[in-house]
Amino acid sequence: MNAQNPSINRRTEAYTLICGMEVHAELKTASKMFCGCTNNPFFAEKPNTHTCPVCLGMPGGLPVANKTAIEWTIKLGLALGCDINLFSKFDRKHYFYPDLPKGYQISQYDIPFCTGGAVETSHGPVRLTRIHLEEDTAKMIHATLDGEKVSMIDHNRAGVPLVEIVSEPDVTSPAQAAEYGRNLREIMRYLEIADCDMEQGGMRLEANISLQSTEQAERGQLPEYKVEVKNINSFRFLENAISHEVERQGEVLDTGVLPAQETRGYNSTKDITFTQRAKEDAADYRYMPDPDLPPFQFAQSQIKEWQHQLPELPGSVRTRWSDTYGLNNQALKMLVVNAEQTAWLDSVFALAEKQGILPKKIAAALVNKQLEINPESTPESVLKTYQKQTASSSVDAQQLSTTIQKILTQHPDAVAKYQAGETQVLGFFMGQAMRVVGNNADAGQVRVEIERQLKQL
Amino acid sequence: MKRTDTQHIATLAHIPINNDQDKDLTAAFNETLETIKTLQEVKVGGVEPTHQVTGLENVYREDEVHKDTMFTQDQALKNAHRTYQGFIVVPRILEK
Ligand SMILES: [Zn+2]
């Protein structure tokens, strides 16, 4: 391939990115998905301390589903406009890997809790295929011990509830992929169901990437292959990995070859993707309904109740605060964080309006940390603090009297003018006095004291 | 089933097998499949798939931590062949 040939660039540009996303996020329930072990893998003091017969996959361990994890998964689906399956179940997904003590992962195959829905982005909506609930695997650390390459396993993460959000291949640019991920993280944090700590692996991104030729686009055909890039732990890396794949696959396609269907990892240091393993087909996973976990039948009234419990979503809060209070983007970005904080700020803003204070001034004070964001404090106390901060502060009477006495002694000419009826020199004395006592000082108090002393002279 | 299928399954299971073994295993798999094939003669049109046999539905637990059922680190590691600083140690599978 001749790199100088300009037609190669032209051909690469003729491909359209076809990209679907798979996002995993750990739910922050108190206990694990199918057992009563502590769900707090990142802050465990030692490895393998949050385990029991169920999450270690010991014979006889009986999994029982965590009610809260299911409720949160369905609420996430409702927030994203999904349809909720009134009948649903858990399935076993079999594969052999040391991070899976049972030899299978409890997941959902053909009847996930949620289907459909969409995530809005500034580049257009990205439709969702499904949201399902599963258990996270054990954490593996690859190391070399005594010259031997080994994997070290910690089961504190095994069995942590994990939602998987699968999108349709609607993503058309690396930037849109990143925005999609950010919006999902925002919603999950807002609903307070997941921390989505990307560095720790609490939220993990995968992109299914392929390129569509102009001919395929004209015939409405999708590419005949897809490459899955896994284990991406930042939105910047996601953008880089997709850009890298677009380039790599374009070069392969330019030579007339179809890129291999495979799973690749992303190396952020080298900014390249690399082959991880040949993709297993669904048949290889030997999915089967988990006989240990009876299925679920939800009443429509239950789903309605959960829908009703959903808070106003962040996008809507931002529009409302922008329209009603004129809050700027910086303030909206910083203040719209979770439902609890929104409710608190709503009551703070309402009280501010009642007291004749512009809510956007309160917002600015919160943004520049002049006021503390603390939903524990009452709106009354927040506004009291604000008023104290902005009110003119009174000056110690004795100190003020001494200061003015000094000024008057230093400027006998001005005093003479005042006594001759040129009262405008009062402004001069005010300026001198304010410079000494500070601009926050109560100007009225200063003026009164100057006049009092001048009259006594 | 072909020998290549057996090799594929062996790869997925990370079990190394040699040429003689894959021949024997393929024959054994085929024998099993032949027996199971009888099931395919049963007419199941119109029969609802069975997801479970207990008749139970909506079995949940509240989201509560049960310290009493949790293992200590020593207990958790008791059956491991090899450990290091509280981790279970296994041979590396993924080679980067
Ligand atoms: Zn457990």
Question: In chain B, where are the structural domains located?
Answer: 3-41
> Mean pLDDT for chain A?
90
Q: How far apart are CA A215 and CA A228, in angstroms?
A: 23
DSSP result, A155-194:
TTSTT-EEEEEEE-S-B-SHHHHHHHHHHHHHHHHHTTS-
CATH of domain A397-456: 1.10.10
Q: pLDDT per residue over A407-419, tens digit each?
A: 999 999 999 999 8
Query: In which band, very low, low, confident or very high, does the pLDDT at A370 lie, cut at 50, 70 and 90?
Result: confident
Query: In which band, very low, low, confident or very high, does the pLDDT at A247 lie, cut at 50, 70 and 90?
Result: very high
At residue A188, the pLDDT reads 97
Q: Which one of A70, A153, A154 has the shortest CB-CB distance to B90?
A: A153
Number of alpha helices (DSSP H) and beta strands (DSSP E) in chain B? 3, 3
> Is B51 an 8 Å CB contact of chain A?
yes
> Is B59 an 8 Å CB contact of chain A?
yes
Query: In which band, very low, low, confident or very high, does the pLDDT at A440 lie, cut at 50, 70 and 90?
Result: low
Alpha-carbon distance B78 to nearest alpha carbon in chain A (angstroms): 11
Q: Is the pLDDT of residue A253 over 70?
A: yes
Is-contact A71 A193, C-beta < 8 A? no
Q: pLDDT per residue over A26-60, tens digit each?
A: 999 999 999 999 999 999 999 999 999 999 999 98
| A192 Ramachandran zone, left/alpha/beta (phi>0; psi -120 to 50) | left
At residue A238, the pLDDT reads 96
Query: How many angstroms is it from A29 CA to the middle of ligand 1?
Result: 13
Query: How many angstroms is it from A24 CA to the middle of ligand 1?
Result: 20
Query: In which band, very low, low, confident or very high, does the pLDDT at A5 lie, cut at 50, 70 and 90?
Result: very low
Contact B76 A155 (CB under 8 A): yes
- Say which range, A77-81, A245-249, A365-369, B71-75, has the weakest mean pLDDT: A365-369
pTM, to two decimals: 0.80
Mean pLDDT of B25-31: 94
For residue B48, the chain A residues in CB contact (below 8 A) are: none
DSSP result, A9-46:
HHHHHT-EEEEEEEEEEE---SB-SSSSSB--GGG-SS
Q: Report the percentage of chain A scoring pLDDT > 70.
A: 94
At residue A400, the pLDDT reads 86
Query: In which band, very low, low, confident or very high, does the pLDDT at A264 lie, cut at 50, 70 and 90?
Result: confident
Query: How many angstroms is it from A293 CA to the middle of ligand 1?
Result: 16
Report the largest interatomic distance among the alpha carbons of chain B, rounded to a whole angstrom.
57
| Tokens standing for residue A421 | 């009826």
Q: Is the pLDDT of residue A441 over 80?
A: no
Report the largest interatomic distance among the alpha carbons of chain A, rounded to a whole angstrom.
105
Mean pLDDT of A358-363: 93
A319-to-A328, A363, B87 alpha-carbon distances in Å: 11, 15, 49
Q: pLDDT per residue over A107-148, tens digit each?
A: 999 999 999 999 999 999 999 999 999 999 999 999 999 999
At residue B19, the pLDDT reads 81
> Is B85 an 8 Å CB contact of chain A?
yes
- Say which range, A7-21, A184-198, B50-64, has the weakest mean pLDDT: A7-21
Query: How many angstroms is it from A74 CA to the middle of ligand 1?
Result: 23
For residue A110, the chain B residues in CB contact (below 8 A) are: none
For residue B85, the chain A residues in CB contact (below 8 A) are: 47, 152
Best residue in A28, A48, A150 for a mutation probing chain B (most B CBs within 10 Å): A48
Q: Which one of B58, B61, B89 has the shortest CB-CB distance to A150?
A: B89
Collect contacts of A356-365 with beta carbons under 8 A, ≥24 apart. A357/A383, A357/A386, A357/A387, A358/A325, A359/A324, A359/A325, A359/A327, A360/A325, A360/A326, A360/A327, A360/A328, A360/A331, A361/A386, A362/A386, A363/A321, A363/A325, A363/A327, A363/A331, A363/A335, A364/A331, A365/A389
Q: How far apart are CA A152 and CA A359, in angstroms?
A: 53
Alpha-carbon distance A159 to nearest alpha carbon in chain B (angstroms): 13
Query: In which band, very low, low, confident or very high, does the pLDDT at A282 lie, cut at 50, 70 and 90?
Result: low
Best residue in A52, A66, A148 for a mutation probing chain B (most B CBs within 10 Å): A52
Alpha-carbon distance B58 to nearest alpha carbon in chain A (angstroms): 5
Contact B73 A49 (CB under 8 A): yes
